[in-house]
Structures are given as C-alpha cells and as structure tokens.
C-alpha cells in the first residue's frame, strides 16, 4: 500500500514478505526512485503508518493520538462539563468541504451541528459561540454568496444568537489545546480616547472611500451582481459592506467591531488624532498601532504609523 512517499508491505509469511519486498524495490528501480535506508524497517510485527499502528491483529489506535483525551481531568463545574461533552461531537470534512474557504467551513460546522441536534434544540434559544469573527458578520449580510445564502435560510428556523469569543478565551470549543481550566484570561486595557470620523452618515463616509481609487475598485467588486473569484478572495480576507460602507474584520482582533477601511486622504488625520492630540498619551509606534487598529484599517497601516511615530 502506498500513500505519497510512504510505502507499507503487508505479507502473511516471512518468505512471502521477502518476495513482496523484491517486487517493490524492482518497481522503485524502474522509476529511478530510491528508498532512504534509515527510514526503512523490515520484518516488523507492528509498524506506525499514517498515524495508526498496523499489527498482526489489525489496525490499532496510536496511544499518542488519544493521550490528550485520556488525560482530561474530571469536570468540576458546568462550563468544564459543556467543554467535555462538546469534544465528543465532531466530523471530518469531505473532499468538497476541504475546498471551502475558512469562513464557509466555520459556517458549515454551525449548520451541521444544528441539524444533528435539531430534535433537542429546535424550540429553544440557542447561542453559537465561535472564535471566527467573520461568521457573525456574514450572517448579517443582506446578500451573502450562494452557499452561505442557502445555509442562512436553513438557520432561519432556529432561534439563533451568534456570539464571537476570541480564540484564547474559547475554552469550551478548544478544550484539548487548553486543558488548564484555571488559566486566567487577561483583561483588556481601556483607551483614554475614542475618536471616530466626525458625525457623518454612511453615505458621506462611502463618498470619502470612493475618492480613493483602490477602495473604489474594491467597493465596486462587492456591489457587482456577478460575484467572481476576486469577491471571494476579498471576503475571505475579512472585507464586507455594511450600509454601503466598506469594513474589514481582523482575525487577530479580540473586538467584535469591524474596522472601518480608511481612504488614503483620511489616514494622516486619524494618526494625528491618536498620537499627537493632548489626550492621546503619545504612545510609541506599537501602542499607537494597537489603538488605531481597534477601529480602523488600511493596507500598510503598521508601516505608515511606524514611519510617522
């Protein structure tokens, strides 16, 4: 049996094993392939292959693959019990699902889980906690893509609330990677100032964005009825339209708020308000970047701020 560059030869007897090995090596020679001697193991009663143990008794689980589950401590409260129970409900992606974008895969997980447990939860208020922030925003879009649109229709029969939880705080879903139940989640520090564009309507902000040639092309890509590959790529990178205004969400941000995409002629103003004003505290480049990134975004923003500060 061959999987990529891994070959395993299973034979009922030792003599047959010698003949089978000869056949394999002759075939490798025909195609001018060479086996690494240090990685070859002969006449083994059991061998590790593709993460499993192949033995004379059949296929066995590799203990190293299940040790994380075996070492789970007994739950001590409701939250830990929920975490434990949710590790037992999972599925693998099929060939089609593996080609989905990250956001589509996250949405698929929600749809699959709701359908699987429909008989238990259909009449109840359901909270879906996810560390994938775009999922929350996509469910609010008026015109999602075809697949997401179909899934959104399926979800309408549920009393559903989508809640974003930052990855490091999502201890219920990511149990195996966060077995330390007593770990404290660091709190966020409040900013001294909160500055937005002057009170302007979405239409006025949109007009400013359209003055930027790059943003204008991006906005037209989203508004075009014929959604192409470019639209899917921008959506995957976190961009979205809301009330005609272009936003982006950062996968690294812990905030539930999307970042307003700033046109080129507004960037100096945003930077000065967050660094130069008397109540801005005059942080260094990293601190200034972190404060601005909570609300705004533009490509090359970090370099732009570093060069200024």
The CATH number assigned to the domain holding 274 equals: 1.10.340.70
Instruction: Return the H-helix or E-strand segment holding 239.
Output: strand 239-242
User: In the prediction, which pLDDT does 78 show?
Assistant: 82
Residue 196 within a domain: no
Residues 253 and 165 in one domain: no
Residue 263 within a domain: yes
Residues 119 and 138 in one domain: yes
The last residue of one of the domains, among 40, 61, 82, is 61
Report if pTM > 0.85.
no
Residues 80 and 52 in one domain: no
Give me the domain span that covers residue 11.
2-61
User: In the prediction, which pLDDT does 64 show?
Assistant: 79
Q: What is the tally of structural domains in the chain? A: 3
Query: Do 130 and 164 contact (CB within 8 A), yes or no?
Result: yes
Low-confidence spans in the chain with pLDDT less than 50: 171, 180-198
141's CB contacts (< 8 A; 6+ apart) are 148, 240, 241
User: In the prediction, which pLDDT does 189 show?
Assistant: 41
How, if at all, do strands 125-130 and 58-61 pair?
unpaired
Q: Which residue has the tokens 């890509």?
A: 221
Query: Do 105 and 93 contact (CB within 8 A), yes or no?
Result: yes
Residues 168 and 266 in one domain: no
What angle, rounded to 10 degrees, do the helices at 267-275 and 301-308 form?
60
The last residue of one of the domains, among 61, 84, 103, is 61
How, if at all, do strands 239-242 and 245-248 pair?
antiparallel
Residues 223 and 277 in one domain: yes
Residues 78 and 134 in one domain: yes
Distance CA(263)–CA(305), nearest Å, equals 15
User: In the prediction, which pLDDT does 19 show?
Assistant: 93
Distance CA(202)–CA(220), nearest Å, equals 16
Residues 18 and 88 in one domain: no
Residues 102 and 168 in one domain: yes
Residues 46 and 78 in one domain: no
> What value does the CA radius of gyration of the chain take, rounded to a whole number of Å?
27
The last residue of one of the domains, among 38, 61, 84, is 61
């Amino acid at each position: 049996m061959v999987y990529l560059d891994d070959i395993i030869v299973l034979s009922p007897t030792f003599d047959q094993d010698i003949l089978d090995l000869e056949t394999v090596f002759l075939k490798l020679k025909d195609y001018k392939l060479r086996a690494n001697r240090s990685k070859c193991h002969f006449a083994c009663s059991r061998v590790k292959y593709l993460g499993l143990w192949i033995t004379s008794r059949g296929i066995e689980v590799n203990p190293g693959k299940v040790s994380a589950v075996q070492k789970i401590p007994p739950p001590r409260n409701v939250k830990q019990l929920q975490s434990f129970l949710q590790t037992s409900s999972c599925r693998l992606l099929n060939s089609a699902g593996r080609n989905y974008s990250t956001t589509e895969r996250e949405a698929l997980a929600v749809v699959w889980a709701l359908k699987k447990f429909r008989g238990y939860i259909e009449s109840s208020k359901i909270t879906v906690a996810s560390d994938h922030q775009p999922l929350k925003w996509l469910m609010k879009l008026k015109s999602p893509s075809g697949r997401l649109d179909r899934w959104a229709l399926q979800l309408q029969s549920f009393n559903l609330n989508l809640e974003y939880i930052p990855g490091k705080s999502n201890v219920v879903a990511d149990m195996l990677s966060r077995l330390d139940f007593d770990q404290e989640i660091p709190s966020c520090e409040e900013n001294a100032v909160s500055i937005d564009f002057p009170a302007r309507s979405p239409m006025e902000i949109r007009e400013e964005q359209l003055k930027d040639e790059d943003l204008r092309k991006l906005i037209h890509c989203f508004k075009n009825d014929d959604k192409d590959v470019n639209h899917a790529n921008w959506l995957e990178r976190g961009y979205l339209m809301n009330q005609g205004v272009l936003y982006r969400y950062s996968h690294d941000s812990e905030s539930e708020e999307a970042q307003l995409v700033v046109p080129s002629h507004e960037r100096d103003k945003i930077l000065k308000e967050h660094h130069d004003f008397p109540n801005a505290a005059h942080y260094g480049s990293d601190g200034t970047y972190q404060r601005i990134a909570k609300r705004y975004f533009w490509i090359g923003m970090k370099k732009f701020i570093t060069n200024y500060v």
